[in-house]
Amino acid sequence: MVNSTQISYFTLSAYFDIGISRYLFFMIVMLLYILIVCANLLLIVIICMNRSLHEPMYIFLCSLFVIELFGSTGLFPMLLIQILSDIHTVSTSFCFLQIFCLYSYANIEFTNLAVMSYDRYLAICYPLQYNTRMTSNKVAILIALSWLFPFLAIVVVISLSASLQLCGNLINKVYCDNYSIIKLACSDTTVINIYGIVYTFTIVLGVVILILYPYVKILKVCFSGSKQTRQKAVRTCTPHLASLLNFSFGCFFEVAQGRFNMNSVPNMLRIFLSSYFITCQPLFNPVLYGLQMTKIRGLYKNIVFGKR
């Protein structure tokens, strides 16, 4: 038995020999990463530089775009290196750093979407009191909590995982995954398993309540309100619901890929599905909100096409 700190590297075994096609895959992944960075950065700049967008909804969106830049940067640079490499290894320290980035991204994305649900609830159910209920101080506190709580929780996860005694260093993925490291453990994993269950139950239950409760209230207002109220609810909630469903879809396959036997699924498809939540969500949101939000769409045209 060896401690994880004594293992100098992990081997990522999900990569397979694709010969000369690796350069094509490299270009595709590079293009995807460039699109993600440009799309998210553009919207962050648009929101920050225009005072008309300094409203809670757009500030929460800006937070969403920042975390997507953070998460995608935790995956793509190493993915690009590994595609061109013949030996798919990663140092222990970098592996845990990547786990921290990806797990933080997933948790902050989830909590940020929950906060956005609450914001939409106030805007639709209490339109006249919205500005007094959603103050700038409250916005700052909500964003701070949605970032700090997941960061601290993941630091504890990494600390517990790094102290495990491991019997191997083979990770059957294209990126580092904490659950895969736990499966390599020779030592007792009771503490980290209990912590993982409690944390997952707490955050999932808490976030689901924060999402379902506002939408139940919004539906009640829609059914009892005017046609204009229903149209406003649909217009403001559709992008958020689409983003939430897309992210949940990606997270489901990430969890399924690690917990269930996926040998019957083609290797390429399995790799795509397990990384969907970090490869597609960061591109899906900027496109979705950029097209759906009238203010953002107008300012985007002004910047890109020089329209006034």
Q: What is the DSSP letter of 265?
A: S
pLDDT in the model for residue 302: 65
Please tell me the distance from the alpha carbon of residue 42 to that of residue 163, in angstroms, as a whole number.
Answer: 41
- In the chain, how many domains are there? 1
Low-confidence ranges of the chain (pLDDT < 70): 1-6, 17-18, 225, 258-265, 291-308
* 101: containing domain: 2-305
pLDDT in the model for residue 262: 62
Please, is 33 exposed, middle or buried when counting C-beta atoms within 10 Å of its C-beta (0-12, 13-18, 19+)? Answer: buried
pLDDT in the model for residue 126: 86
Q: Are 177 and 258 in contact (CB under 8 A)?
A: yes
pLDDT in the model for residue 301: 63
Q: Where are the extended beta strands (E) located within the chain?
A: 2-3, 9-12, 89-91, 165-166, 170-171
pLDDT in the model for residue 32: 92
Residue 215: CATH number of its domain: 1.20.1070.10
> Which of 129, 16, 150 has the alpha carbon at shortest distance from 83?
16
Enter the pTM of the model: 0.87
